[in-house]
């Protein structure tokens, strides 16, 4: 079947591979199929719920993913067989584990102590008697909750109080009403008789024996002591990465967040991007709960897939290139590339241009200077600095390397605000602070700079994840050299900024200029 | 995709939602006209500062700069600043009368579009009607004003004397979660905004004492648990909103509140108070709803996805409280629906 997409020239695979078979994954698949884009689902379990006729590899997993956007090759394992599957783009919408957090309260699951989702599905113990029994929701007590879980708690509590006529309590700390309609739902639940008890500096005491559960607490507002013996208690479920996430992460070489979800906690990846171009994470794979969030993510993922399959996603202007004759195959470039744009062909590294984001980190890190990254080659940049020095008559000459993502937009806004750059300062715009090598820095000093400033993005806000950290370690290297030759180490300075910090940019430059002025012009 | 070249879309409002929709549609080969009432791009969030401390705290404000830059660089987006839609006619397409202000007055033109995205955002709650002395006591400011200070000055200055405050208070939920006002919604972003700003202030001036008056702290960001622990060590958290604010010596402000721990009336004096005003429906939502035939909900927010069957969509905070990342996600999702609509037509 021909796709309706006008494919990018040179794109080999025109299909989408979806990892996962839940509601989020299915919505993405349906949207792409409506556009006549071939879809292949790869699912750990069986294909239950996926529309008949869909192309599904069930009980299957991906063990490796090579190539770049438009032309990925996945290694698949299914029933002990191994084969490859091409993909133009991939979206991972794998389910996480919903784990009940009863242990946090010292409880065991039992007919009385139930995970929230079971209560939400109306699955109550036989001992529950309408009009008499007590139900308790232990919600967000052991750890802070989230609006999606709060929605389920309040809907379930409302049903128990209104339809089953149970005495229903929700015990919580901070009630998470930051979701559409939740404040209203909270009020409806209270009107229906649900009692919400909020704890701030105390916590309920929960005891459990074979016969009963006992929950005692002091109402903080009145100081009155309560003891409840609920016939049913619901405990929150926490969304955690499933064991499959580790395998997916390794197969696709994805950066994860601190919990292990398959998207780094970096605002530039929001909503559905990962560190690899053409590979997306949606819904539970990036730690989201709730129908509304899954639907919105499905739309955002379909939008992103459509854009990349047509080759319409923005691309970087400059690409790294490895000079095979200089390369000693240390594979540093392979390790440092956040975007996984370096592949290894028979022990030789090669840059995949479609995957390269043009950050220049590999070129700066290569111990053999075997990677060309035009037009930011240290020799070319240093020649530019020499010219700039010649054009300037000021006694004190300084150089600033500015990250194009953060410092450059901040400077441009500063200019629009009326800022005048110090006349002795020469500014060099680079794609990422991580592209600056020790050679770049030395080049500036050799050209007569009294000081060098490097501005990158704040940690955790770098498009290349570690650009600023790489720059910082280069600067340390140079400072160690300075220490040995008795040169003031603080003539080289690093700082971090965000794109909206025009005022911060001006402050950092001023502080830098003042500091270098204090050292005076360097010895010739 | 069926050929979308030559299709024309009007995106109304150039906040982060409108910008995201415009750049995504432009990437897909659609001609976009971006109609913005004010004279700059970026909407509200373009005025927010970076709250990073030792690392980024994921407030999302810098993403707006990025979106502005991409839209400005895109040849497929025609930007109309100081412009608004005055009339809408339906015949085949959507015939919009767009009025643009200029030095000599205003100029109007009628143009045809295949679909429209309303991304006109929200109006901040006006706290003048609350007993908090806003616009009366000089050192009572809104969270939006504090954001702007961080953005423009890179520091916090008391309006009365330009000095850094030593005792600051944040009052949450001003104009949100308020039955008396009929505002039965949580604005979703003000807990995050306030606590990030509070931590930023402390990181710059560790001796600042900050008190946080609140009802419930909302979760924001993935590392919320960790962030919240630090916050509770650094900031005095009082789970009660002050009833009234009174003037105190040296342009200070006295807060009177019922202290939940002692269960007694208590007072504290601050040299600066920040009101966390919330998100309310855009003032023009009613007019836009009737002009474009888009349903609005009982609170006055536009229906998410607008009136999609007729080619008028809505996105971002025009549809209800949402954060910057949510507004981007929402706009991406709406673009999907716009494309589906265009493919059918
Ligand atoms: C104090 C405060 C702090 C916040 N802090 C954060 C934060 O730290 N992180 C976060 O994620 N979110 C934060 N938010 C939320 C954030 O402001 C919104 O998510 C974001 O502004 C929504 O973008 P939008 O494009 O939908 O609307 P807006 O930003 O409101 O943009 C709407 C645009 O449409 C224009 N417009 C309006 N009407 C018309 C018309 N009739 N014709 C033409 N143009 C029109 C407006 O001029 C404006 O440019 C905060 C909100 C507040 C109030
Ligand atoms: S870092 Fe340089 S030397 Fe090492 S493998 Fe890569 S190109 Fe070759
Ligand atoms: S320039 Fe950056 S993205 Fe490209 S190969 Fe090198 S490290 Fe990877
Ligand atoms: S997301 Fe917010 S805190 Fe992080 S760098 Fe951007 S503006 Fe700063
Ligand atoms: S986000 Fe926090 S301050 Fe804002 S309305 Fe919700 S609970 Fe109140």
The sheet that has B93-102: what strands, in order across it? Answer: B83-91, B93-102, B105-113
DSSP B296: B
Confidence of residue B125 (pLDDT cuts 50, 70, 90): very high
Mutate to test the interface with B, among A299, A312, A413 (most CBs of B within 10 A): A299
Nearest CA in chain A to B149: A503
In residues, how long is chain A?
Answer: 524
CA separation (Å) from A127 to A124, A156, A160, A390, A420? 8, 18, 14, 89, 77
Ligand 1 geometric centre to CA of B313 (Å): 17
Please, are residues A41 and A57 in contact by the beta-carbon 8 Å criterion? yes
Whether A207 lines ligand 2, by a CB cut-off of 6 Å, is no
Closest partner residue to A183 (CB to CB) among B186, B224, B228 is B186
Q: Decide: residue B76, CB within 10 A, 0-12 exposed, 13-18 middle, 19+ buried.
A: middle
Confidence of residue B176 (pLDDT cuts 50, 70, 90): very high
Confidence of residue A524 (pLDDT cuts 50, 70, 90): low
Nearest CA in chain A to B69: A409
Q: Decide: residue A442, CB within 10 A, 0-12 exposed, 13-18 middle, 19+ buried.
A: middle
Return d(Cα A128, Cα B214) in angstroms, integer: 37
Return d(Cα B172, Cα B214) in angstroms, integer: 5
Which region, left, alpha or beta, applies to residue A181 given φ > 0 means left and ψ of -120 to 50 means alpha?
left
Ligand 3: which residue has its CA nearest to atom 6? A362
In this prediction the ipTM stands at 0.96
Structure confidence at residue A7 (pLDDT): 52
Backbone angles phi, psi at A495, to 5 degrees: -150, 165
Arithmetic mean of pLDDT, A196-220: 94
CA separation (Å) from A344 to A10, A347, A352, A500? 21, 6, 10, 39
Return d(Cα B78, Cα B74) in angstroms, integer: 8
Ligand 3 geometric centre to CA of A451 (Å): 28
pLDDT in tens, B221-273: 999 999 999 999 999 999 999 999 999 999 999 999 999 999 999 999 999 99
Does residue A100 sit in helix, strand or coil? strand
Structure confidence at residue A2 (pLDDT): 47
Nearest CA in chain B to A286: B222
**pLDDT surpassing 70 at residue A99:** yes
Confidence of residue A5 (pLDDT cuts 50, 70, 90): low
> For chain A, how are helix, strand and coil distributed in percent, rounded to 5?
30, 25, 45
Whether A360 lines ligand 3, by a CB cut-off of 6 Å, is yes
Closest partner residue to B50 (CB to CB) among A6, A257, A500 is A500
pLDDT in tens, B2-57: 678 899 999 999 999 999 999 999 999 999 999 999 999 999 999 999 999 999 99
Q: Average model confidence (pLDDT) for chain A?
A: 94
Cβ-Cβ contacts under 8 Å, A499 against chain B:
62, 65-66
Return d(Cα A166, Cα A151) in angstroms, integer: 19
CA separation (Å) from B278 to B122, B144, B318, B322? 10, 10, 14, 11
Is the peptide bond preceding residue B215 cis, with omega within 30 degrees of 0? no
Confidence of residue A209 (pLDDT cuts 50, 70, 90): confident
Percentage of chain B exceeding pLDDT 90: 94
**pLDDT surpassing 80 at residue A500:** yes
Backbone angles phi, psi at A155, to 5 degrees: -60, -45
Q: For residue B288, which ligand has an atom nearest its CA? A: 1
Sort strands B77-80 and B31-35 into parallel, antiparallel or unpaired: parallel
pLDDT in tens, A380-427: 999 999 999 999 999 999 999 999 999 999 999 999 999 999 999 999
Mutate to test the interface with B, among A267, A429, A472, A506 (most CBs of B within 10 A): A267
pLDDT in tens, A288-344: 999 999 999 999 999 999 999 999 998 999 999 999 999 999 999 999 999 999 999
User: For A479-521, what is the HEC assignment?
Assistant: HHHHHHCCCCHHHEEEEEECCCCHHHHHHHHHHHHHHHHHHCC
DSSP B90: E
Ligand 3 geometric centre to CA of A232 (Å): 56
Closest of A515, A512, A369, A413 to residue A454, by C-alpha: A512
Positive/negative CA dihedral, B250, B246, B270, B131: negative
Return d(Cα B185, Cα B317) in angstroms, integer: 13
Return d(Cα B72, Cα B78) in angstroms, integer: 9
Residue A267 alpha carbon, nearest atom of ligand 4: 1
Structure confidence at residue B132 (pLDDT): 97
Please, are residues A338 and A431 in contact by the beta-carbon 8 Å criterion? no
Please, are residues A464 and A338 in contact by the beta-carbon 8 Å criterion? yes
Nearest CA in chain B to A295: B333
Structure confidence at residue A48 (pLDDT): 84
* A-B contacts at Cβ under 8 angstroms: 185
Whether A342 lines ligand 3, by a CB cut-off of 6 Å, is yes
Closest of B208, B201, B190, B216 to residue B275, by C-alpha: B190
Please, are residues B50 and B28 in contact by the beta-carbon 8 Å criterion? no
Structure confidence at residue A12 (pLDDT): 56
Return d(Cα A64, Cα B82) in angstroms, integer: 52
Residues with Cβ within 8 Å of A442's Cβ and at least 6 positions away in sequence, in order, are: A478
Closest partner residue to B332 (CB to CB) among A6, A176, A300 is A300
Confidence of residue A1 (pLDDT cuts 50, 70, 90): very low
DSSP A350: E
Beta bridge pairs of residue A170: A137, A196
DSSP A26-95: HHHHHHHHHTT--EEEE-SS--TTSPTT-EEE-SEEEEEEEEETTEEEEEEEETTEEEEEEESEEEE---
Return d(Cα A360, Cα A381) in angstroms, integer: 13
pLDDT in tens, A421-465: 999 999 999 999 999 999 999 999 999 999 999 999 999 999 999
Percentage of chain A exceeding pLDDT 70: 98
Return d(Cα B132, Cα B213) in angstroms, integer: 13
Arithmetic mean of pLDDT, B125-132: 96
Ligand 5 first shell, C-beta below 6 A? A 178; B 172-173, 176-177, 186-188, 190-191, 215-216, 218, 276, 278
Ligand 4 geometric centre to CA of A356 (Å): 25
Residues with Cβ within 8 Å of A96's Cβ and at least 6 positions away in sequence, in order, are: A239, A240, A241, A242, A245, A261, A284, A285, A287
Arithmetic mean of pLDDT, A233-247: 96
Cβ-Cβ contacts under 8 Å, B56 against chain A:
266-267, 457-461, 498
Arithmetic mean of pLDDT, A480-488: 92
**pLDDT surpassing 60 at residue A147:** yes
DSSP A285-331: GGT--SHHHHHHHHHHHHHHHHHHHTT-S---S---EE-TTT-----
pLDDT in tens, A287-296: 999 999 999 9
* Radius of gyration of chain B from its Cα atoms, rounded to whole angstroms: 22
Mutate to test the interface with B, among A35, A140, A286, A303 (most CBs of B within 10 A): A303
Structure confidence at residue B268 (pLDDT): 98
């Amino acid at each position: 079947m021909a796709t309706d997409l006008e494919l990018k020239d040179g794109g080999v695979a025109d299909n989408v591979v979806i990892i996962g078979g839940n509601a989020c994954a299915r919505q993405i698949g349906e949207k792409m199929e409506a556009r006549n884009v071939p879809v292949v689902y790869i699912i750990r379990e069986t294909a239950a719920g996926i529309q008949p006729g869909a192309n599904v590899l069930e009980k299957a997993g991906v063990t490796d993913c090579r190539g770049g956007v438009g032309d990925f090759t996945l290694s698949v394992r299914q029933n002990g067989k191994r084969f490859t599957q091409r993909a133009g783009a991939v979206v991972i919408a794998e389910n996480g584990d919903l784990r009940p957090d009863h242990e946090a309260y010292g409880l065991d699951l039992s007919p009385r102590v139930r995970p929230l989702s079971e209560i939400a599905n109306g699955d109550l113990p036989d001992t529950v008697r309408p009009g008499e029994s007590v139900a308790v929701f232990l919600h967000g007590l052991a750890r802070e909750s989230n609006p999606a879980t709060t929605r389920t708690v309040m809907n379930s509590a409302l049903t128990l109080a209104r339809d089953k006529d149970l005495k229903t309590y929700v015990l919580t700390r901070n009630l998470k009403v930051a979701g559409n309609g939740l404040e209203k739902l909270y009020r409806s639940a209270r009107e229906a008789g649900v009692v919400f008890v909020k704890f701030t500096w105390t916590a309920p005491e929960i005891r459990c024996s074979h016969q009963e559960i006992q929950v005692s607490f002091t109402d903080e507002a009145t100081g009155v002591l309560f003891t409840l013996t609920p016939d049913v208690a619901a405990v929150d479920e926490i969304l955690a990465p499933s064991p499959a996430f580790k395998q997916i992460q390794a197969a696709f070489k994805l950066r994860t967040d601190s919990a292990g979800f398959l998207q780094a906690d970096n605002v530039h990846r929001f909503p559905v991007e990962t560190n690899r171009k053409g590979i997306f994470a949606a819904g539970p794979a990036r730690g989201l709960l709730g129908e509304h969030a899954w639907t919105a993510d499905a739309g955002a993922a379909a939008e992103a897939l459509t854009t990349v399959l047509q080759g319409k996603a923005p691309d970087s202007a400059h690409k790294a290139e490895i000079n095979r004759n200089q390369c000693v195959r240390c594979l540093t470039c392979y390790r440092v590339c956040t975007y996984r744009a370096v592949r290894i062909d028979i022990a030789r590294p090669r840059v995949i241009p479609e995957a390269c984001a043009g950050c220049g980190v590999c070129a700066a890190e290569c111990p053999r200077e075997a990677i060309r990254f035009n037009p930011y080659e240290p020799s070319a940049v240093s020649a530019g600095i020499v010219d700039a020095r010649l054009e300037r008559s000021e006694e004190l000459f300084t150089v600033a390397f500015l990250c194009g993502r953060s410092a450059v937009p901040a400077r441009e806004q500063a200019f629009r605000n009326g800022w005048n750059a110090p006349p002795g300062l020469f500014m060099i715009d680079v794609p990422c602070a991580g592209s600056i090598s020790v050679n770049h820095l030395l080049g500036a000093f050799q050209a007569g700079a009294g000081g060098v400033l490097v501005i990158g993005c704040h940690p955790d806000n770098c498009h290349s994840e570690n650009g600023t950290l790489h720059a910082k370690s280069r600067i340390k290297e140079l400072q160690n050299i300075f220490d040995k030759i008795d040169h003031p180490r603080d003539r080289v300075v690093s700082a971090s900024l965000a794109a909206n910090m025009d005022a911060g940019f001006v402050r950092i430059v001023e502080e830098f200029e003042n500091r270098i002025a204090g050292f005076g012009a360097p010895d010739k | 995709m069926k050929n979308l070249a030559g299709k024309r879309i009007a995106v109304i409002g150039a906040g982060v939602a409108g910008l995201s929709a415009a750049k995504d549609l432009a990437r897909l080969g659609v001609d976009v006209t971006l109609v913005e009432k004010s004279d700059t791009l970026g909407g509200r969030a373009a005025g927010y500062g970076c709250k990073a401390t030792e690392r980024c705290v994921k407030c999302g404000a810098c993403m707006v700069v990025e979106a502005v830059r991409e839209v400005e660089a895109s040849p497929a987006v025609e930007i109309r600043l100081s412009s608004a839609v005055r009339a809408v006619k339906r015949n085949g397409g959507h015939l919009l009368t767009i009025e643009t202000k200029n030095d000599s007055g205003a100029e109007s033109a009628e143009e045809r579009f295949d679909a429209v995205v309303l991304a006109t955002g929200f109006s901040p709650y006006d706290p003048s009607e609350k007993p908090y002395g806003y616009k009366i006591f000089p050192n009572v400011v809104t969270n939006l004003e504090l954001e702007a200070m961080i953005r423009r000055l890179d520091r916090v200055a008391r309006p009365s004397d330009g000095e850094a405050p030593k005792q600051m208070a944040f009052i949450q939920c001003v104009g949100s979660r308020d039955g008396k006002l009929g505002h039965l919604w949580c604005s979703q972003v003000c807990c995050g905004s306030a606590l990030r700003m509070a931590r930023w202030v402390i990181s710059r001036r560790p001796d600042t004492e900050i008190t946080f008056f609140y009802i419930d702290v909302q979760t924001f960001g993935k590392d919320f648990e960790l962030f919240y622990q630090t916050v509770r060590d650094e900031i005095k958290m009082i789970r009660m909103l002050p009833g009234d604010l009174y003037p105190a010596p040296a342009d200070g402000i006295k807060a009177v509140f019922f202290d939940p721990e002692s269960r007694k009336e208590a007072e504290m004096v601050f040299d600066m108070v920040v009101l966390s005003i919330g998100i309310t429906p855009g003032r023009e939502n009613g007019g836009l709803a009737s002009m474009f035939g888009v349903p609005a909900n009982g609170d006055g927010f536009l229906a998410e996805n607008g009136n999609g069957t007729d080619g008028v969509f809505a996105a971002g905070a025009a549809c209800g409280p949402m954060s910057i990342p949510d507004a981007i996600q929402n706009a991406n999702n709406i673009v999907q629906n716009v494309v589906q609509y265009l493919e059918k037509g």
